Chains A and B, each alone.
Chain A
Amino acid sequence: MDAIQHISPYLISNYVFPNDIHVHWSMMIVLYPYITGLVDGAFIVAALYYVFGVEKLKPVARFSLIFALAFLCCATLPLLLHLGRPERNLNMMITPSPHSAMAGFGYIYGISMGVLVLIILFIYRPFLVEQRLKSKGVMEILYRLLTFDSTNVSEKSLNMDKKIIKFLVAIGIPIACVLHGYVGFIFGGVKANPTWSTPLMPVIFLFSACVSGMSAIIFAYIITKTFTKQKIDMDCLKILVNTLAGFFILAFCFEMLEVFSHTYLRSGYHHMVEGLLNGPLRDSFWKYQVLYFSVVPLFLLGFICLLPIKQWLYKFTAFITSFLLLLQVLFMRWNVIIGGQLMSKSARGYTEFHPEWFDKEGIVAVIIVMAIPFIILFVLGRIFPFWEKDSVN
């Protein structure tokens, strides 16, 4: 009790409402925005090439799309594991409540998935047509399906494809933004939780999604190219890192603005959240999210973006920075979702959360859920080659 008194003079008895002792949204709900964030960020990388014509991003554009698809396939998995009655999950589609933010998830998710799959199929069409003509049996049927049973790869047809791709990616960008902004809104729309209830929440989620997705692409690009002993396109990597730096500065600024503006205002919000950030979240917020995984990468990004350094050092620093930023976003999700629930609605105390290993939402389940997209990515890689040089184009 002394420690709590030290944190905030407004908390005397550290009283938690009896039903607030349980943290209802645990690890799976941390993963849910994390995975959708990776999808959105990766999609933005592809969009920069396909819509905005950033030619230097061509080497990673297709990989980004397949990466986004692999993770999008698993975006619902944490939610299903979290539900008390997962067998009723389709109720969300059958009897949706028009008032609920969460009711839109199935539709927004479905549209995102449809658009992404179509984009990939159109982009890979020439390659898929070629594979179809080469393959037999089951694979032929698969390629027939994937090419819409068309073998037309004439110049006219390919030009039409390009227009379709541009249109799909163009509508895909707002859909990707809606998907993750909407995930942020699900939290921001909970007025009973002072750490969530802010209009900035969707914006913070959106920018951090871009950061995590881009970091994942940089990380995966460097690691796969290094292990397969292929050349890393430095122009592509540099533009990726520069874009990541821009998005991260925005994301970090918004995250800090949210805290510091309330600290300056010293409103009721501040007095409630102050104890949380300086108490149960002191390490995970200030030490890890802010210091180790935000300030350090910020300096590293400044270092590689502004100074002329050797290629190997650039690649190494970019690799480390992207890894730190992946952790930054994970910690940010944890601090928002778990942290927000640690503060009782009594505004008089904090509960505790200790993840279990073998729970339905435990650490092992988290590892499995995070491993599945990589397995899907590997399988997709067999059908849709990631790197441009493998294409018939």
Chain B
Amino acid sequence: MDNKISMDNKISDDRRSFIKKVLNGTIGGSLLLVFSAGAEIFKSPEDIPAQIPSLKNKEYEITKAHFAFIVDITKCIGCGSCCVADKREYNVADGYYRTWVERYLKDYDDNVYVDSPKGGLEGYQSPREDIDVKVRDTFFVPKLCNMCKEPPCVQVCPIGATFQTPDGFVLVDHKRCVGCGYCIQACPYSVRFLNPVTKTAEKCSWCYHRVRKGLQPACVSVCPTGARKFGDLNDENSEVSKILKGPGVITVLKREMGTFPGLYYIGARREVI
């Protein structure tokens, strides 16, 4: 008897919630028709705007693009989403990193404490407890391939397996690489490693396969705060173009190496290496 009553109540609850959902859906759907922005999702996949405006609905012209990557340190919250996206996109082996996030702490004596547990893959959920100092400043620094204009890794590769594309990407031909590791030694930014499965050199490619389709790199598309920006410098309306031509201090890492990186940092302190 009790069971029957509870069953009736459940059916009644389900029915009520169903009606509620239908009503919500109807109202929501009507609003979508009113607000054009929301209606975008109903368009066919071909009409989805390209993530990189200059490439929207255009054939990719390799010689006409000049890409730049900007990392805004002031916006990075060290969530590690970029590292997770990267690991899933490329199935990066444990213990190796195409991109990682560093945590910097600075005390009142100007001492700098840096760490990057698991490359920041799990984010920085808790403060560092191993340091007993009063912290003056703290910030996160994402690292990835600098896509140098004068890449030491391309220079040293004995067989040309690491090469530079006309649109500024430094890529690795895995079918040709012999796995000598000279590029690993030559990279001043330590973004290279030997893939333990393919036994060839590997590095961040700024998601070249995505960019060719007009999509943003995986890490850029998942960054919740917009700390990672990517775009074509030849497109005057692109965000990266406006940032690099605009005011403010923008820097590159290890300038003294003479590699002329295509990766720029906003808000990088001098402590960042």
- Give the A-B contact count at a CB cut-off of 8 A: 134
Contact B114 A348 (CB under 8 A): yes
Taking a contact as CB atoms under 8 Å apart, the answer to whether A191 and B178 are in contact is no
The answer to whether B180 touches A83 (Cβ under 8 A) is yes
Q: Does A137 contact B (CB under 8 A)?
A: no
Given contacts A18-B97, A19-B191, contact A190 B156 (CB under 8 A): yes
**A20-28, A169-177, A221-229, A382-390: which one contacts chain B?**
A20-28
Q: Does A212 sit within 8 A of B, measured CB to CB?
A: no
Q: In the assembled complex, how far is the CB of residue A175 from the closest CB belonging to chain B, in whole angstroms?
A: 20
A95 touches B188 (CB 8 A): no
Q: Which residue of A lies closest to B120 (CB)?
A: A18
Does B95 sit at the interface, judged by CB under 8 A? yes
The residue in chain B whose Cβ has the minimal distance to the Cβ of A344 is B190
A181 to B114, CA, bound (A): 38
User: In the complex where A15-B114, A19-B96, A84-B199 touch, is A192 in contact with B179 (Cβ < 8 A)?
Assistant: no
Question: Smallest Cβ distance from B99 to chain A, in angstroms?
Answer: 10
Residues in A neighbouring B152, C-beta threshold 8 A: 190-192
Chain B interface, >50% SS class:
loop
B231 within 8 A of A: no
The answer to whether B186 and A95 have CB atoms under 8 Å apart is no
Q: Classify chain B: how many residues form its interface, as a range.
A: 35 or more
Q: A97, B157: Cβ atoms under 8 Å? A: yes
Q: Which residues of A contact B113 (CB under 8 A)?
A: 12-13, 15
- B178 close to A89 (CB less than 8 A): yes
Is the C-beta of A91 less than 8 angstroms from some C-beta in chain B? yes
B116 contacts which chain A residues (CB < 8 A)? 15, 17-18
Q: Which residue of the partner chain, among B95, B158, B191, contacts A21 with CB atoms under 8 Å?
A: B95
Q: Hey, what's the 0/1 contact readout for A18-50 against B, CB within 8 Å counting as 1?
A: 111110110000000000000000000000000
Neighbouring B residues of A79 by C-beta, 8 Å:
180
Complex Cα gap A145–B135 (Å): 77
Contact with B along A80-101 (1 / 0, CB 8 A): 0011111011011011110111
A291 at the A/B interface (Cβ < 8 Å)? no
Verify A95–B176 contact, CB threshold 8 A: yes
**Among the listed B102, B158, B176, B257, which residue makes an inter-chain contact with A102, where contact means beta carbons less than 8 Å apart?**
B158
Asked if A105 is an interface residue, CB under 8 A from chain B, the answer is yes
Known: A85-B177, A95-B176, A190-B185. A105 touches B158 (CB 8 A): yes
CB atoms of B178 and A85 under 8 A apart? yes
The reply to whether A191 and B257 form a contact with Cβ atoms under 8 Å apart is yes
User: Interface extent on A, as a size class?
Assistant: 35 or more
Please indicate the chain B residues that have their CB under 8 angstroms from the CB of A97 in the complex. 157-160
Which A residues are in CB contact (< 8 Å) with B184?
Answer: 19, 24
Which chain B positions have C-beta within 8 A of A279?
none
Is the beta-carbon distance between A91 and B176 smaller than 8 angstroms? yes
B273 contacts which chain A residues (CB < 8 A)?
A: 345-348
**CB–CB B111/A84 < 8 A:** no
Q: Does B48 reach chain A (CB closer than 8 Å)?
A: no
The residue from A83, A193, A346 contacting B185, defined by CB atoms under 8 A apart: A193
Contacts of B156 in A (CB 8 A): 99-102, 189-190
Q: Which residue of A is nearest B160, CB measured?
A: A97
Q: Tell me which of B100, B158, B161, B200 has the highest count of chain A C-beta atoms within 10 A of its own C-beta.
A: B158
The docked-state distance in angstroms from the alpha carbon of A22 to that of B158 is 22
Q: Which residues of B, 178-212, contact A by the 8 Å Cβ criterion?
A: 178-182, 184-194, 198-201
Give the docked Cα–Cα distance between A379 and B130 (Å).
Answer: 61
Contact A88 B111 (CB under 8 A): no
Query: Nearest chain A CB to B33's CB is how many angstroms away?
Result: 49
Q: Is the pair A24, B194 in contact by a Cβ cutoff of 8 Å?
A: yes
Q: Which residues of B contact A103 (CB under 8 A)?
A: 158-159
A88 touches B178 (CB 8 A): yes
Q: Which residue of B lies closest to A196 (CB)?
A: B185
Nearest neighbor of A87 in chain B, beta-carbon distance? B178
A389, chain B: closest CB distance, angstroms:
45
Contact call B155/A19, Cβ cutoff below 8 A: no
Say yes or no: A84-B179 contact (C-beta < 8 A), given A18-B97, A20-B190.
Answer: yes
Check if B159 sits within 8 Å of A191, measured CB to CB: no
CA distance A99 to B164 in the complex (A): 13
**Can you list 10 residue pairs at the A/B interface with Cβ under 8 Å?**
A13-B113, A82-B180, A92-B159, A96-B160, A102-B180, A105-B158, A186-B182, A190-B156, A192-B187, A348-B273
Which 9 residue pairs spanning A and B have beta carbons closest together?
A: A84-B179, A84-B199, A192-B188, A15-B114, A17-B190, A102-B158, A103-B158, A13-B113, A97-B160
| Besides A24-B184, A85-B179, A92-B178, 5 other A-B contacts (C-beta < 8 A) | A15-B102, A84-B179, A85-B199, A193-B185, A341-B185
